[in-house]
Amino acid sequence: MPAYPQTAIPPALALPVIEEAFPRNLHPYWSQLQGLTRSWLLEKRLMPADKVEKYADGLCYTDLMAGYYMGAPDDVLSAICDYSAWFFVWDDRHDRDVIHGRTASWRRLAVQLHAATEAPELHLNHKDPLVAGFADSVARLHGTLSRTWNARFGRHFHAVIDAYDEEFRNRTSGTVPSVDAYIRLRRKTFAHAIWLDLLEPTAQYELPAWVRKNPAFARAGLACQDFAAWYNDLCSLPKELAGGELHNLGISLIEERGYSLPEAMTEVRRRVEGTIDEFLSAEREVEKMAAATESVGDAGKELAAAIRLCVGNMRNWFSSVYWFHHESGRYQVDSWDDRATPPYVDDAVPPQPAEPTVPAQRGGPVNDQVGECA
């Protein structure tokens, strides 16, 4: 679908190549997803009712996912949308815990999320809504493919929790990471691997390791996720400077390399544009692989179709992320009464339940190392 006519994009953030060469798509189930996720946020008590009523639709969380995971069964896309909404709420809790110095609250939550990652079905009624909501969305995703996929998804999310914890320590100690350290960290806090994992339940096909590790396929996946991360940094920089944030590619460039703000924004934009070129190159190579694969009988045709759907959805990530940043109330900092406090965030002290009993693990002991989607 074309860009909404009312969407005005500041020249510094406009990317004509996205608007012209990356057509925007929305899943047919999109019209129902907004109401479903709104109801889920209320049911799971992830946002206060007044904030859900006033802000949830304008945050456009379901639009982002519905523009990415084309071809997903309706129930799978609904679970992905709920998980994505949860992720944003979790990101906001992390930010509030940093700002208010709630170290014990953060550490408790991180340990509980590690446990829920291993056994979501045992945490569905957890007293902390963030843990229970996470468990619900992950339990639904676990029903889509094999236990091998579940375990891979879990390993990737353990790494996300730990990366969030590293960011928590950096922010509470006033540490701005170097550019290289930030890039490594951002690829985990932005959950690159998670959003790529979800391409497979969307396609209803678990990709073999040789496809996932194919250099061209991996390059395409990294390019689409790096685009999202660096474009998010470009758009989030005013919000994050206002909120005292230390984790943004532009901030690391300013701190480590002495860039001025305009110079940092120019460099971040250059990297954003570089991911587009990298994806287009990798996409052509992946198509060669898919064409070769489909010549190997019916099984090859089925795999080739899955590969093409996954890479097509990587392509969708560019347009979906791009428009999301100009339609979501999450980035409309100039409209907020307090630029350091998003109006959609619940700033209340989080619940402090008793520590749960850690369940026996299917895949080894829980990683109790306590640990961004800005």
Residues with active-site annotation:
87-88, 190, 330
How many of the other CB atoms lie within 10 Å of CB of 143? 11
Structure tokens at 317: 């990530």
Which sign does the torsion angle of CA 253, 257, 263, 266 carry? Answer: negative
Residue 348 · residue 334 · CB < 8 Å:
no
Angle at 103 between CA 191 and CA 166, to 5 degrees: 35
